[in-house]
A and B are shown apart, each in its own frame.
Chain A
Amino acid sequence: MTIQNPTRPAVSPAGGSLSPRARFRRRSAISDLLVVIAWVSGPVAASLYLASGGLADVKDMGSFFTALGIVTGLIGTDFILLMLVLAARVPLIDRAVGHDRAIGLHRQLGKPALYLILAHAALLLIGYGMSSGFNPIAEIGPMLALPDMITAVVGTALLIAVVVTSLVAVRRKFPYEFWHVIHLLSYAAVLFALPHQLSIGGTLADGTVQRVYWIGLYVLAIGAIVIFRIAVPLFKSWAHDIRVQQVQWISPDVASIHLTGRDLRALGAGGGQFLIWRFWSAGTWWHSHPISLSALPTDRHARITVRVLGRGTRRLTAVKPGTRVSFAGPYGIFTDAARTSPKLAIVAAGIGITPARALLEGSQLARGEATVLVRSSTDDETFLWSEMRKLAEARGAELFAMVGPRARNSWMSQHDAARGVTLRSVFPDLDRSDLYVCGPQRWAEAVVADARAAGLPEHQIHLESFEL
């Protein structure tokens, strides 16, 4: 063990020696490759059918609908497996595109996947119906008599439940736990659908390459979930043995939770990353919370800072010292690793100060490389600002504060908006800067919109928003 210097923790070794530009090129190459693999997996699914000689069976309208039904089923299932991989928090994906973008795509795919599966059922009923001269409704009975169809229907019903409860309008009506439990059923839905894919139809028949590929996809998706959502977090939680040390109130509704554990530096958490925490006390164990580190971990100590927003976070701040904490992560690319440009610009508001502070702490900076703007509506909201000031001083960064009620149609204070402050006047080197924005969602989006309007390219904008 060497001597620890708590104010200058080791910077993550990955890509440390590369320039931001080179790191960015590598990261975007990986990201593009992942995007291509994700989208091409759909056509590959359709190709499985083509390669089995399926087109030769298309002779009339009935067989045409049947073929279309098979293809929609294949692509729909491919999308669902893709969604599992995206939700599995695979480190490679998280490092390349970030957890929030992965989950964003996961959400976007939900409805199309469901529609494809429903179309699969409907088209096959129509296709079979036309081929045998019956109407599609009359096909429902015989179709259910096919092997493994009952489980497939149950799987579809579960899928409908999962997607419907995830629609924004519906999701708001129920507590998080209800949505979460229903969402877990998607694993069952995926597994229930598998037998009928393998036993009915020729595309995935026994002994074909298609069958091997398809089972491989399933193994990949389920394996990713089991390893990265279950096994790795369980092991890490056990190995690092994190417990609550104390809860410290730093403003009327914001508390820092100090944690102790074993070898926490080995978590490899970069400044600005978050972990998904679960506190094992009576009132909190059933709910996990994604919370940013508000300081880089040292060997024995880590710190998170939370704002009390509802019952869940209220209970969180009431945990007793010694409470066991399990976690998954760290996740996110609101970090030094996502840098693309020579200069660093940070804008943070409210609780968004937490990852911004850790980011500043975790960045290797030349004097004058970074500029920080902290924003709050009232003096009550200036928690962690003193730490930010000290850090900025130590890192040779310039720090601006902007306090006061928000101006109309702006993310700035009334006072500063009126005297003509702009993003460019705060960050004169904006074009050569990476802009990191962190704060309440609406506000953060306003800053990003302003940056886009100023002509800042997309890859230089880094957003971490907190839903309020």
Chain B
Amino acid sequence: MRRRAAVASVIASAGVLIAGFQVGAAVTAGRTTTSSGTGTGSSGSTAGTGSTGSTSSGSTGSTGSTGATGSSAKDGTFKGTTVQTPFGPMQVAAVISGGKIADVKVLQRTDQGGRSVQISNQADPMLRSEVLQAQSANVSTIGGATYTSEGYLQSLQSALDQAGFTG
């Protein structure tokens, strides 16, 4: 009888782990498509984002010459929406110049707990260089800074959408 319980435990455990892995793979795939898509509706955002989303939608920066390079993106600085992460709000602005992402500026960074400030300080420049290189918000997150990365990239995507930047 003990053997029966042991065998059942092993089989059930394997099943549970495989199921968990499958769900995880699906979740990860879903996450990637979301960040490369429209960039609206941050899944991690809480009730507070309703107001921040609307207030930060306005873009600063004058619209410059457009269409010079063939890209439909307007030049200027575009603020992304504020994304709530477990470690505080995250907001970036995209600087578009000549139809390209010229720079990413961090307006608000996760600041809850000393560790997250440290992570943020470290992850921000890494994300910036990845984004500039890829010319897209569709880059992989920084290990150990998942929340910061996701907040950063989501906010950036919304800024790029406002600029009409399609890459």
Contact = CB atoms under 8 A, between A and B. Distances in A.
Contacts of A55: 21, 24-25, 28
Interface string A125-149: 0011001100000010111011100
Contact of B13 (A42, A49, A146, A458): A42
Interface residue tally of chain A, by bracket? 35 or more
A449 interface: no
Contacts of B31: 53, 56
A39 interface: yes
B143 A39 contact: no
Given A145-B114, A146-B113, A200-B86, A54 B24 contact: yes
B19 A47 contact: yes
Contacts of B1: 28, 31-32, 459
26 contacts: A31-B1, A32-B8, A35-B5, A35-B9, A36-B9, A36-B12, A39-B13, A40-B12, A40-B16, A44-B16, A46-B17, A47-B19, A47-B20, A47-B21, A50-B20, A50-B23, A51-B21, A51-B23, A57-B144, A59-B140, A60-B143, A128-B115, A132-B144, A142-B113, A202-B86, A205-B86
Contact of B24 (A36, A53, A127, A142): A53
A58 interface: yes
Contact of A147 (B4, B21, B112, B140): B112
Nearest to B10: A39
B56 interface: no
Given A51-B20, A131-B144, A131-B145, 9 more contacts: A44-B20, A49-B20, A50-B17, A51-B19, A52-B27, A53-B25, A57-B141, A131-B143, A201-B86
B interface, over-half SS: helix
Interface of A: 28, 31-32, 35-36, 39-40, 42-44, 46-60, 62-63, 66, 127-128, 131-132, 139, 141-143, 145-147, 199-202, 205-206, 458-459
Interface in B133-164: 140-141, 143-147
Given A51-B23, A51-B24, A51-B27, A43 B113 contact: no
B3 to A, nearest CB: 10
A335 to B, nearest CB: 19
A40 B146 CA distance: 29
Given A47-B19, A58-B143, A141 B122 contact: no
B119 interface: yes
A460 to B, nearest CB: 12
B38 interface: no
Contacts of B140: 59
A96 to B, nearest CB: 12
A53 B27 contact: yes
Contacts of B116: 146
